[in-house]
Amino acid sequence: MALARLDVGMSLSHNQRNILQLKPTQSQTDIEQRIASLLGGDFLEQSLPLDFSAAGLRLHGWVGLPTFSRSQADQQFFYVNGRLVRDKLVSVAIRQAYQDVLYHGRHPIYVLYLELDPTAVDVNAHPTKMEVRFRESRMVHDFLFRALHRALGGAKAGLGLGISAVDADTGAEPHPASPASTTTWDASPTATPQWAGSGIASRSVAAYRQTPLPLRVEELMHGYAALYAEREAAPLPPAASESGPPPLGFALAHLHGAFILAENTEGLVLVDAHAAHERVTYEKLKQQRQSGSVPSQPLLLPIRLAVSDAEAELAAENTEALRELGIELDRLGPKTLLIRALPALLVQGDGEGLVRDVLADLNAQGHSRQVEERLNSLLASLACHGSVRANRKLSLPEMNALLREMEATERSGQCNHGRPTWVQLSLADLNGLFLRGR
C-alpha cells in the first residue's frame, strides 16, 4: 500500500509501538527514502530506474540488477493503475526479460508501475482482485518485455554496474565502488539510454559502439591480438580520451589461466575470461540472428562426423534451423554427417564438438517448432562452446581487447547463465584488507 501511493503519508503501529512512520513524498529524495525504509537501502543501489512509454502505455519504476537477485520472490511489486496485482501475463513477460541474465533458481527484485487506459483492463477478473485481464494482452506482454529487456540490455560491464560482493538476501552493505547506474527512457521506442554515475561519458560509449570490433573466436585468440594491435596507435577514441581511461581499465595479468586482473581508476578489476567472452559472443550471434541468420563460412576441408542413427535423422529434420545458426550439414549415410559450413564467428574452433553439442540440444528440445522458439538457447550453446577456454594463456593485448569488447556489449555484466563476469575491488576495499588507515 505504501508503495502504491507514494504521495500519501502512512503510519503503522503494533502493540502501541510505532513500526513505520512514512511521510507524504514531495520530491525524488523523499521517494527514495520511503523505498529504502520499506525494502532496504540496497534496493535502490542495485536497481535500474526506468521510464518507458509507447502505444498509450507507460512503465516506470525500478528493476533490480541480475547480479542482485534473491532466493525468494519476496521483493516483487507490480502495480496496474495503482493497484497491486499478481498477474501471470506480467510474470511471464518479466521472467522472459531476465531469461539469459539471471542465475538459475534466483528471483529478480522490482517495483514497477504500469499505467494505461482504465477501459483497457478488467480489474474484476478474480475474486481477490489480485489478477487483472488486459483487453490487448499480447500488446501489453510485448510492451513489458521490450521495456525491461532494453533496460537490462543497457547494463554494460564497467558502466557502474559491477557485481556487489554481497548477496541480495544478506542485507549487508554493497560495494561503494559499484553503484547502480540510472537508465531513463523517453516516449520513443528507439530511445537511447542516458547513463549517470558511470566512469565513462555516454558519448564515449557511443564511440566504442561505433568502432568496428571484428571478433574472431579461436583458441589462441589471434583475432583479439589483431584487434588490439589496431588500437595501439590510438588506444581510445578521442571522446573516451577526454573522459579518462576506459571503465574496466587495462590488464595486468592472467591468473591461473582463467581470470583477468586489471587496474582502473577505482582500484582492481577481476574478470572471468570465459564467462565474459561467452556473453560477448552470444550477443554478437543474437544480433546476427535478428538481422536474418547467423553468417556461415564454408570449410575448406569438410569434416566427416560419425553419429548415431537418431542424430543423423535429427540433423536431416532440422536442416533449416541449423542453417539459420550458420551450420550446414549433409547426410552421407545412416550414421555419417558431413560438416560443410560453420558460423563465421566460430569457424576456428572445434567444429566436430560444436555440431555434437547442437545436436544434443536439438534432441533435448524436440521438434523443429520448439527449436524455432528456443533459438536463443541454441545460440547460447554456440557461444559457450566457442568461447576461450580455461588454462589458455592470454597475452596483454588479447586481454585488453576483451575488456574493450565487454564495455561495448549489452548485458556483459553476466554470462549467459546469469553468473557475474567481473567484480570491482575499490581502493577502500584494498586498504581494508590490509588494515591501512586504522
The amino acid sitting at 269 is: V
Listed range (127-136, 157-166, 239-248, 361-370) with the worst mean pLDDT: 157-166
CATH of the domain at 145: 3.30.230.10
pLDDT in tens, 303-313: 998 888 888 88
For the chain, give the mean pLDDT: 75
Residues 79 and 90 both lie in one domain? yes
Residues 20 and 110 both lie in one domain? no
66-60-408 Cα angle (round to 5): 45
pLDDT in tens, 22-75: 999 989 889 989 998 898 888 888 888 999 999 899 999 999 888 777 878 888
Q: How many residues are recorded in the chain?
A: 438
pLDDT in tens, 187-233: 333 333 332 333 322 323 333 333 333 333 333 344 344 434 444 44
Residues 126 and 2 both lie in one domain? no
The sign of the torsion formed by the CA atoms of 312, 313, 319, 324 equals negative
Provide the domain limits for residue 90: 40-198
Residues 263 and 411 both lie in one domain? yes
pLDDT of residue 157: 64
Q: In what order do the strands lie in the sheet with 250-255?
A: 250-255, 259-263, 267-272, 422-426
Residues 53 and 23 both lie in one domain? no
Backbone angles phi and psi of 17, in degrees to 5: -115, 130
What is the pLDDT averaged over residues 340-348?
79
Residues 264 and 340 both lie in one domain? yes
Residues 303 and 318 both lie in one domain? yes
Given a cut of 80, is residue 151 above it in pLDDT?
yes
Number of domains in the chain: 3
Number of neighbouring beta carbons within 10 Å of residue 359 = 23
pLDDT in tens, 118-130: 999 888 877 777 8
CATH of the domain at 253: 3.30.1370.100
What is the pLDDT averaged over residues 144-167?
64
DSSP class of residue 200 equals S
Q: Which of 176, 198, 220 is the last residue of a domain?
A: 198
Residues 120 and 262 both lie in one domain? no
Contacting residues for 304 by C-beta, under 8 A, at least 6 apart = 332, 336, 337, 338, 339
What is the pLDDT averaged over residues 364-387?
61
DSSP class of residue 236 equals S
What is the pLDDT averaged over residues 93-102?
84
pTM beyond cutoff 0.75: no
Percentage with pLDDT > 90 across the chain: 22
Q: Which of 178, 198, 218 is the last residue of a domain?
A: 198
What count of Cα atoms within 13 Å lies in the side-chain half-sphere of residue 433?
5
Residues 189 and 205 both lie in one domain? no
Residues 50 and 17 both lie in one domain? no
Residues 411 and 387 both lie in one domain? yes
Residues 100 and 186 both lie in one domain? yes
Number of neighbouring beta carbons within 10 Å of residue 417 = 15
